[in-house]
């Protein structure tokens, strides 16, 4: 466990980045819930979904921001759970959460590209 990980500054940063991303996510989620409830009517089809998303740069920006916010927000909580409930040490919890954050970022941005560009 390195000194920086345990330090107050690092803790403070994790805390406020999680809260800032939470505020962004609150807005994104409200929009996403509305879109989902609208979109799922009459069933989902690739044609319908891609019809809305392809070439739509506003959509791309919105969902890219959404993905980045998730990639910042999820790891902080995950690390806490890993330490408190799964018995991982400080270092292991941090690496697990960072790896997962990276996974979300890569797969999420790939998904945005997939529905906007492909």
For residue 81, give the 3-state DSSP assignment: helix
Least distance to another protein from the beta carbon of 88, Å? 12
Give the integer Cα–Cα distance in Å for 81 and 85: 5
User: 43-102: which residues touch another protein (CB under 8 A)?
Assistant: 43-47, 49-50, 67, 70, 74, 77-78, 80-81, 83-85, 90, 100
Nearest CA to 112 among 73, 76, 72, 59? 59
Give the integer Cα–Cα distance in Å for 45 and 43: 7
DSSP state of 40: T
Contact pick of 2, 23, 61, 91 for another protein (by CB under 8 A): 23
Q: Which residues bind another protein (CB under 8 A)?
A: 6-9, 11-16, 19, 22-23, 25-26, 29-30, 32-33, 36-38, 40-47, 49-50, 67, 70, 74, 77-78, 80-81, 83-85, 90, 100, 103-104, 107-108, 110-111, 113-115, 118
């Amino acid at each position: 466990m390195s000194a920086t990980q345990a330090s107050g500054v690092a803790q403070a940063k994790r805390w406020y980045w999680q809260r800032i991303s939470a505020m962004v996510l609150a807005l994104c989620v409200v929009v996403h819930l509305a879109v989902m409830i609208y979109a799922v009517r009459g069933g989902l089809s690739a044609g319908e979904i891609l019809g809305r998303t392809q070439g739509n740069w506003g959509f791309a920006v919105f969902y890219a921001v959404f993905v980045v916010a998730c990639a910042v927000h999820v790891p902080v909580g995950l690390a806490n759970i890993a330490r408190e409930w799964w018995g991982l040490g400080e270092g292991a919890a941090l690496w697990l959460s960072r790896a997962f954050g990276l996974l979300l970022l890569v797969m999420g941005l790939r998904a945005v590209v997939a529905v906007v560009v492909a």
